[in-house]
Amino acid sequence: MHGSNFYGTIGNVKILAVSDQVIDRMYSLLPSGHFQDVDLILGCGDMPYTYLEYIVTMLNVPMYYVPGNHDPQDDLTDKRSRAEGGLNLDLKTELHKKLLIGGFGGCIRYRPDGVNQYSQQQAYLRAYQMLPQLLINRIKYGRALDVLISHSPPYEIHDDINDPAHHGLKALNWLIRITKPRYHIHGHTHFYRNNLETQETMVGSTKVINVYPYKILEF
């Protein structure tokens, strides 16, 4: 487990997940045929949309992403507020092959005028909006989610209590508890040590994975 991005297999779905940092190497890896066996791209936020668009154009597979605190407010009338070729999965769930994927954008509010920033209370209210869809999934498929993607980490997991901008969201702990996904992948917090324990944490039966700093995982 090393290198760049989260690259793995869930069932027989191969996923490339990117977050927070443009990897210049992508511009040479993709044209030379790397990642061609990827079935799905997941973006965990704070990525320039032009970069996501480049990846999705090169791989030509579905892409779901959530916005981060450095991304624009999603706006139907503004093309630049969205990554073309992808779907903003914020507060939505989607079925890809046999995989149920849910998305939760943004992070803790640390500036009054910040975009895609929420207080703990606001984040809970947003998470509650997902309940009807999660319930439908449970009735239809016997489970609420397989993969949860978010920009923020959960509270006290891979977050930084010494930095107001990098507190995790308690609503994500709650979502993990009620949906029990196999994987929760997130970005936002940056670790400079290549220490696996700080990038992967089991929460109940859910493996919480920090996509940053870009790594390759294989299951």
Based on CB atoms, which residue is closest to Zn ion, 10 or 168?
168
Based on CB atoms, which residue is closest to Zn ion, 100 or 213?
213
- Please provide residue 135's backbone torsions phi and psi, each rounded to the nearest 5 degrees: -65, -45
Distance of CA 6 to the CA centre of its chain: 11
Cα-based angle 115, 100, 35 (whole degrees, multiple of 5): 80
Dist. CA 117–CA 167, nearest whole Å: 11
Looking at residue 65, its amino acid is: Y
**Smallest gap from residue 180 Cβ to Zn ion (A):** 25
Dist. CA 190–CA 194, nearest whole Å: 10
**Smallest gap from residue 83 Cβ to Zn ion (A):** 16
Based on CB atoms, which residue is closest to Zn ion, 46 or 159?
46
Based on CB atoms, which residue is closest to Zn ion, 18 or 58?
18
Dist. CA 146–CA 152, nearest whole Å: 18
Based on CB atoms, which residue is closest to Zn ion, 14 or 215?
215
**Smallest gap from residue 54 Cβ to Zn ion (A):** 20
**Smallest gap from residue 37 Cβ to Zn ion (A):** 29
**Smallest gap from residue 128 Cβ to Zn ion (A):** 23
Based on CB atoms, which residue is closest to Zn ion, 14 or 151?
151
**Smallest gap from residue 64 Cβ to Zn ion (A):** 18
**Smallest gap from residue 195 Cβ to Zn ion (A):** 20
Residue nearest to Zn ion (CB): 188
Dist. CA 45–CA 172, nearest whole Å: 15
- Please provide residue 77's backbone torsions phi and psi, each rounded to the nearest 5 degrees: -90, -5
Q: How many residues does the chain have?
A: 219
Based on CB atoms, which residue is closest to Zn ion, 180 or 190?
190
Pairing mode of beta strands 200-203, 206-210: antiparallel
150, β-bridge pairs? 104
Please give the residue ranges that form the binding site for Zn ion (CB under 5 A): 46, 68-69, 188
- 169 Cβ contact list (under 8 Å, min separation 6): 104, 107, 108, 118, 120, 123, 150, 152, 153, 154, 155
